[in-house]
Amino acid sequence: MISHAELAAEFGTPLYVYDLDELAAARDELFAALPEEFELFYALKANPHPGIVRELRTGARSCRAEISSTGELTAALAAGFTGADCLYTGPGKTAGELAEAIGHGVRLFSTDSVTDVRRVGAVATAHGVVADCLLRVNSVTASAATSIRMTGVPSQFGFDSETLIELLPALREVPGTRLAGMHFFPLSNADEASLIGEFQHTIATAAELAAAAELPLRYLDIGGGFAAPYGVPGERGAYPTLRGELAVALDKYLPSWRAGRPQIACESGRFLVGASGTLVTQVSNVKISRGRKFVIADAGINTFGGMSGLGRLLPVAVGLAPDSRGEQASLVGPLCTPGDVLGRHIALPPVEPGDLLSVPNTGAYGPTASLLMFLGRPAPMEVLVRGDRVVSASRIDYRRVEHVLPAKFESTEGI
């Protein structure tokens, strides 16, 4: 594989390097952990780079696309997906974006409220089509007590399971829609025991709700939550018994699942793409302030923002040589704000201005999950490699201004 130093010399820093071979390995590994009958959606929110999305569409078993915006739809289409390959999710779909999605052939939607279903139906009716709606369920109970919980609490996501049955008469009457099944996403970044327990609970809940409500269950998306490190060294989660445990639970509660009644699906973002990425950044300065060392790099929260700079998933850890003794320092970015911190008091190698640092496992939630436009700095370069070959090199250009002023508002005054 081409060295990060060579790529940095060629393309500059900050620089994301995405290894397509690692990406394909993660895809194949996750498919192997699931029963053969399962479909797998790639959540583009993790990384919508068309080259990455395209790689996940290939292989002996290929992913479908889970999208939640027209921008992600554009990325999916650019990567070779069709609208029919996509599941459109999100609690705040507008009529405009639904029109664009349905116009491009999207027919499967995860819906979160009666209003959401009605809006999908109105747009589908206007296009002369019928849209399949999965009812996202916010279960009142849960199995796993660990990991990041995504259910069992008040939320903008999903129908509360305890009130769903009373809403079904209204949902069944919505023109332009067909109730196709359910969608769950109960937790995130889970170990195998937690994930198996939650999937078992999800499958049992789906079967119980379908029977009690006489709800057609043609499709069931049981969610994801597959673990992978973020911005620190480590390996993807291992799920050696998941396949068998899922089969046992499905045989018990939904015995026709092997024949596709219902079709079962999972989804994943970080697990599929996280390990493929490395962030390479150059040290701009090293300074001591009142006894504390600060290493200032050209990558900050505008480059790797920990989910839009919220800091929930920081600090990062940089790669250290096996024989290197790390020293405590704060790794900060170049922005003119004290909040531009990638890690406080973390282990860093002895560095000088001009040295390169690498942050591993940054293939997910990188540029598009960061404060990309803050202070107007250029976006980082993104390079896709396969072995010793550069497949593509690109940079998001957010500084191009597109003037879309309607004629009735035009002025003779220049901008």
In a shared domain, residues 312 and 200: no
Given a contact cutoff of 8 angstroms between Cβ atoms, the answer to whether 70 and 101 are in contact is yes
pLDDT at 37: 97
pLDDT at 153: 59
In a shared domain, residues 80 and 222: yes
Given a cut of 90, whether residue 85 has pLDDT beyond it is yes
Residue-wise pLDDT tens digits, 274-328: 999 999 999 999 999 999 999 999 999 999 986 544 445 567 888 755 555 668 8
Given a cut of 90, whether residue 239 has pLDDT beyond it is yes
Angle at 17 between CA 14 and CA 18, to 5 degrees: 145
- 268, 296, 324 - which closes a domain: 268
DSSP H helical segments within 155-226, as ranges? 164-172, 192-213
In a shared domain, residues 205 and 326: no
Query: CATH no. for residue 170?
Result: 3.20.20.10
pLDDT at 56: 97
Whole-number Cα distances in Å, 24 to 89, 274, 280: 25, 12, 22
pLDDT-derived band at 216, boundaries 50, 70, 90: confident
Pairwise CA distance, residues 226 & 22, whole Å: 16
Residue-wise pLDDT tens digits, 341-376: 999 888 898 999 999 999 999 999 999 999 888 888
Residue 252 lies in a domain: yes
In a shared domain, residues 264 and 279: no
Given a contact cutoff of 8 angstroms between Cβ atoms, the answer to whether 180 and 133 are in contact is yes
Pairwise CA distance, residues 296 & 163, whole Å: 52
Given a contact cutoff of 8 angstroms between Cβ atoms, the answer to whether 213 and 165 are in contact is yes
pLDDT-derived band at 333, boundaries 50, 70, 90: very high
In a shared domain, residues 102 and 39: yes
Query: CATH no. for residue 365?
Result: 2.40.37.10
pLDDT at 309: 43
In a shared domain, residues 263 and 304: no
In a shared domain, residues 210 and 301: no
In a shared domain, residues 254 and 303: no
Given a cut of 60, whether residue 145 has pLDDT beyond it is no
In a shared domain, residues 263 and 284: no
> What's the whole-number mean pLDDT along residues 67-77?
97
Residue 236 lies in a domain: yes
In a shared domain, residues 121 and 217: yes
Residue 63 lies in a domain: yes
- 268, 283, 308 - which closes a domain: 268
- Sequence-ordered list of residues with C-beta below 8 angstroms from that of 239, at least 6 positions apart, any chain: 33, 192, 195, 226
pLDDT at 367: 93
When comparing pLDDT for 397 and 335, which is higher? 335
In a shared domain, residues 180 and 71: yes
Residue 17 lies in a domain: no
Residue 412 lies in a domain: no
Residue-wise pLDDT tens digits, 8-50: 999 999 999 999 999 999 999 999 999 999 999 999 999 999 9
pLDDT-derived band at 335, boundaries 50, 70, 90: very high
In a shared domain, residues 78 and 122: yes
> What's the whole-number mean pLDDT along residues 257-282?
97
For 153-166, what is the HEC assignment? CCCCCCEECCCHHH
Residue 2 lies in a domain: no
Given a cut of 70, whether residue 116 has pLDDT beyond it is yes
- Owner of token pair 């396949």: 243
- 250, 268, 286 - which closes a domain: 268
Given a cut of 80, whether residue 246 has pLDDT beyond it is yes
> What's the whole-number mean pLDDT along residues 59-71?
95
Residue 337 in tokens: 């704000």
Tally of domains within the chain: 2
Pairwise CA distance, residues 175 & 156, whole Å: 24
pLDDT-derived band at 146, boundaries 50, 70, 90: very low
pLDDT at 307: 56
> What's the whole-number mean pLDDT along residues 147-154?
50
Question: Which structural domain, as residue segments, surrounds residue 334?
Answer: 275-395
> What's the whole-number mean pLDDT along residues 177-188?
91
pTM of the model: 0.92
Residue 38 lies in a domain: yes
- Owner of token pair 């705040």: 92
pLDDT at 80: 96
Residue 326 lies in a domain: yes
Span between the terminal Cα atoms of the chain, in Å: 48
Helix (H) or strand (E) segment spanning residue 40:
strand 39-43
**Type of residue found at 98:** L
In the three-class reduction of DSSP (H, G, I as helix; E, B as strand; rest coil), residue 21 is classed as helix
DSSP-derived letter for residue 127 is T
